[in-house]
C-alpha cells in the first residue's frame, strides 16, 4: 500500500480488500482440512483402542486358564495381571471422561463424541486441562501407571523398560534455545490446541495405555513359561569368561544345563579327563585347563541328566579356546605422533580383555581416559612419550606392552587474506576483507590460531609507507591505504604474528599481493 501521507487509489483499495478476502478464505480451507484430518485420525485411534481391548481380553482369558490349571505356579503373576488390568481400565476411563468433559463444555448437553461441532475451539481444552488442572491430574495418573508397570519388569529387560518409558513419557519439554517458553507437560500438549486436536491426543494416550497393557501382560505370561522346566528343550551349555587366553594363564569354563533342576546335578564327563565333580549352587560344573602352549584347543564331552520318568538322557557338548602370546594395540586416532598443546585422541585395546580391564599411562605428559578411549597431552616436544598398558588378570594387574610415540610441536599456520596467501588480488576484494586469517593447511586436528598483529607496507610516491595493526583486523589507516592503491601496485603484509592453543607466538611469512 502507499505511504501514510498518500491516499490510496480506488484500485489499490480494491486489490487490498481482495487480498485480505482470499487470505482469509485460504486460512479457512486449510483449517478445515486440518480439522478433518484430526477427525480421521481420531476415528482410526478409536478402532485401534477397541482392537487392543479385545486382544487384551483374550490374553486375560488365557492367563486365567493357566491360573486355574496351576494356581501355585501362576498365582502371583495372575494377581499382578489383575492389578494391571484394573489400573489400565481406570486410566483409560479417566481419559475418556476428560474427552467427554471437553466436548460437553463446548457443544452442550446434546454433545456427540463421534460428531463434534466445535472442532476448532481453542479455548475449552486449555481451560479444562491447564487452568482447571485436569492435565496435571492426567500426568500424575500416567506416571503412577508407568511406575506400576516398570516395577514388574526385570532390570535386565532394558528394551521393554525403554519402550514403556518412551510410550508413557511425561517429561517436561526441553528448551531448544534460550528464551523459549518454560512449558509444563500439560501446557505443551493442550495450549493453542484446537478441540478436535486435544480429543485426538487423548485418544492417542488411551492407545498408548492399552498398548503398554498388552506388552506387560504378554511379558508376565512369558515369565511363567520361562519358569517351566521342559526337558525336550534342554541343551548342554558351555560358559567361559574368555576363549582368548594368554600364555601362562588358566582357561576356565562352566558346563551346565540351560534350565537348572536344583534337586539334582547332571553327570558331566569330559573326553580324556573323566567326570567333573566340582559344582556351584546353580548346578554348573567347573572345568579348568592349564594354558602352557600357544594355539587353538578344542574340548568337550557328554552331559547326562535324568528325565521325570527316571530315564538317562545324554547331550554332547564341545567348545574351543585360543591360547596366545600377550598382545596389545595402542594407536593415535589422528596420526602416529603426538602434538604438544592439543588433545591427541588415543585408542587402547587388548584382545581378550574388556575396556574396563585395560588401563594405560604415559611418560612426558598425561594420558586421560574418556569413555573407552584416551586423550594424550604431551609436555615436551622432540622427546618421546612411552605409553604403558596393563590388563587385569585373576590375580591382579599385569603389564602387557609399551609403545613409543614421537612428540612434535604444532606446525605453523599459513597467513591468508580472502583465502589467498599472495599473488594477484582485485582491489574491491581486498577492501571487502576485515583482516588477516591464520589457517592450518593439511593438518588433521581442528585448531584455531589467532593473529595478534601485522604490518601493511606499500610504496607511495617513492616512499615506503607502513601501517601496523595489533590485532587480526585491518585498521582504518590500513583500509585508507588500500583505497589509494593503483593497478599493478604491490602490497606487503609482513611481521605477521599468531598464537595457537599451545600459547606460543609464531612469526609467519610475509604475504605479497599485486593489485589487479
pLDDT at 30: 38
pLDDT at 1: 40
Quick one: pLDDT band at residue 279, thresholds 50, 70, 90?
confident
- Assess whether pLDDT exceeds 90 at residue 351: no
Q: d(Cα 48, Cα 203) in Å, to the nearest integer? A: 10
pLDDT tens digits, one per residue of 412-471 = 899 999 999 899 999 899 999 999 999 988 787 778 899 999 999 999 888 889 999 999
Task: Name residue 468's beta-bridge partners.
Answer: 455
Task: Name residue 392's beta-bridge partners.
Answer: 397
Helical H segments across 445-503, by residue range: 476-483
pLDDT at 7: 47
Identify the weakest region by mean pLDDT among 115-119, 239-243, 288-292, 428-432. 239-243
Residue 303 near residue 268, CB atoms below 8 Å = yes
pLDDT tens digits, one per residue of 177-203 = 776 677 889 888 888 888 988 898 899
pLDDT tens digits, one per residue of 11-35 = 445 544 544 443 344 334 436 777 7
Q: d(Cα 219, Cα 213) in Å, to the nearest integer? A: 10
The DSSP result for 128-150, as a single string, is IIIIT-HHHHHHHHHHHHHHHHH
Q: Residue 502: which residues within 8 A CB-CB, separation 6 or more?
A: 340, 341, 342, 409, 410
Tell me how crowded residue 327 is: count the other CB atoms within 10 A of its CB: 13
The DSSP result for 31-50, as a single string, is HHHHHHHHHHHHHHHHHHHH
Average pLDDT over residues 31-46: 79
pLDDT tens digits, one per residue of 149-180 = 999 998 888 899 999 999 999 988 887 777 66
- Assess whether pLDDT exceeds 90 at residue 97: yes
pLDDT tens digits, one per residue of 219-272 = 998 887 654 444 444 567 777 666 556 566 677 777 766 666 665 678 999 998
pTM of the model: 0.42
Tell me how crowded residue 300 is: count the other CB atoms within 10 A of its CB: 15
Average pLDDT over residues 285-296: 82
pLDDT at 319: 86
Identify the weakest region by mean pLDDT among 146-160, 318-332, 350-364, 396-410. 318-332
Q: Where are the beta strands (DSSP E) in 230-343?
A: 236-239, 244-246, 250-257, 267-270, 274-275, 285-290, 295-306, 312-324, 329-332, 337-339
Question: What is the average pLDDT score of the chain?
Answer: 82
Q: Residue 28: which residues within 8 A CB-CB, separation 6 or more?
A: none
pLDDT at 504: 84
- Assess whether pLDDT exceeds 50 at residue 288: yes
Amino acid at each position: 500500500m502507499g505511504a501514510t501521507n498518500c491516499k490510496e487509489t480506488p484500485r489499490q483499495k480494491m486489490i487490498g480488500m481482495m487480498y485480505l478476502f482470499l487470505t482469509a478464505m485460504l486460512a479457512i480451507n486449510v483449517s478445515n482440512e486440518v480439522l478433518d484430518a484430526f477427525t480421521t485420525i481420531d476415528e482410526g485411534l478409536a478402532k485401534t483402542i477397541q482392537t487392543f481391548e479385545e486382544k487384551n481380553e483374550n490374553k486375560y482369558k488365557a492367563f486365567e486358564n493357566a491360573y486355574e490349571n496351576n494356581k501355585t505356579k501362576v498365582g502371583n503373576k495372575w494377581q499382578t495381571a489383575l492389578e494391571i488390568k484394573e489400573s489400565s481400565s481406570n486410566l483409560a476411563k479417566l481419559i475418556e471422561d476428560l474427552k467427554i468433559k471437553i466436548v460437553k463444555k463446548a457443544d452442550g448437553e446434546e454433545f456427540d463424541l463421534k460428531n463434534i461441532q466445535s472442532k476448532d475451539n481453542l479455548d475449552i481444552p486449555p481451560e479444562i486441562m491447564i487452568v482447571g488442572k485436569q492435565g496435571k491430574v492426567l500426568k500424575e495418573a500416567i506416571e503412577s501407571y508407568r511406575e506400576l508397570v516398570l516395577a514388574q519388569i526385570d532390570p535386565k529387560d532394558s528394551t521393554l523398560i525403554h519402550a514403556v518409558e518412551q510410550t508413557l513419557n511425561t517429561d517436561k519439554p526441553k528448551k531448544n534455545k534460550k528464551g523459549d517458553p518454560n512449558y509444563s507437560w500439560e501446557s505443551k500438549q493442550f495450549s493453542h490446541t484446537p478441540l478436535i486436536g486435544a480429543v485426538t491426543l487423548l485418544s492417542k494416550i488411551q492407545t498408548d495405555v492399552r498398548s503398554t497393557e498388552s506388552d506387560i501382560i504378554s511379558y508376565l505370561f512369558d515369565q511363567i513359561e520361562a519358569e517351566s522346566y521342559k526337558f525336550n528343550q534342554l541343551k548342554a551349555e558351555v560358559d567361559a569368561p574368555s576363549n582368548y587366553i594368554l600364555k601362562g594363564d588358566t582357561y576356565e569354563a562352566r558346563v551346565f544345563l540351560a534350565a537348572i533342576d536344583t534337586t539334582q546335578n547332571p553327570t558331566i564327563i569330559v573326553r580324556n579327563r573323566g567326570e567333573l565333580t566340582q559344582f556351584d549352587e546353580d548346578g554348573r560344573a567347573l572345568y579348568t585347563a592349564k594354558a602352557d602352549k600357544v594355539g587353538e584347543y578344542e574340548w568337550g564331552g557328554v552331559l547326562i541328566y535324568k528325565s521325570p520318568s527316571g530315564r538317562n538322557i545324554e547331550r554332547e557338548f564341545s567348545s574351543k579356546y585360543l591360547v596366545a602370546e600377550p598382545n596389545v594395540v595402542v594407536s593415535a586416532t589422528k596420526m602416529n605422533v603426538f602434538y604438544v598443546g592439543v588433545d591427541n585422541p588415543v585408542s587402547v585395546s587388548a584382545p581378550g580383555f574388556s575396556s574396563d580391564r585395560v588401563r594405560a599411562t604415559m611418560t612426558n605428559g598425561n594420558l586421560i581416559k574418556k569413555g573407552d578411549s584416551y586423550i594424550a597431552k604431551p609436555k615436551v616436544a622432540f622427546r618421546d612419550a612411552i605409553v604403558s598398558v596393563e590388563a587385569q588378570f585373576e590375580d591382579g594387574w599385569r603389564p602387557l606392552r609399551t609403545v613409543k610415540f614421537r612428540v612434535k610441536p604444532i606446525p605453523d599456520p599459513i597467513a591468508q587474506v580472502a583465502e589467498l596467501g599472495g599473488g594477484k588480488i582485485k582491489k574491491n576484494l581486498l577492501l571487502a576483507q576485515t583482516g588477516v586469517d591464520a589457517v592450518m593447511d593439511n593438518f588433521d586436528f581442528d585448531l584455531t590460531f589467532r593473529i595478534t598483529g601485522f604490518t601493511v607496507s606499500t610504496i607511495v610516491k617513492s616512499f615506503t609507507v607502513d601501517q601496523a595493526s595489533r590485532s587480526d583486523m585491518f585498521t582504518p589507516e590500513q583500509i585508507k591505504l588500500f583505497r589509494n592503491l593503483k593497478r599493478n601496485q604491490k602490497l606487503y603484509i609482513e611481521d605477521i604474528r599468531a598464537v595457537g592453543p599451545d600459547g606460543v607466538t609464531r612469526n609467519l611469512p610475509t604475504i605479497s599481493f599485486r593489485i589487479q
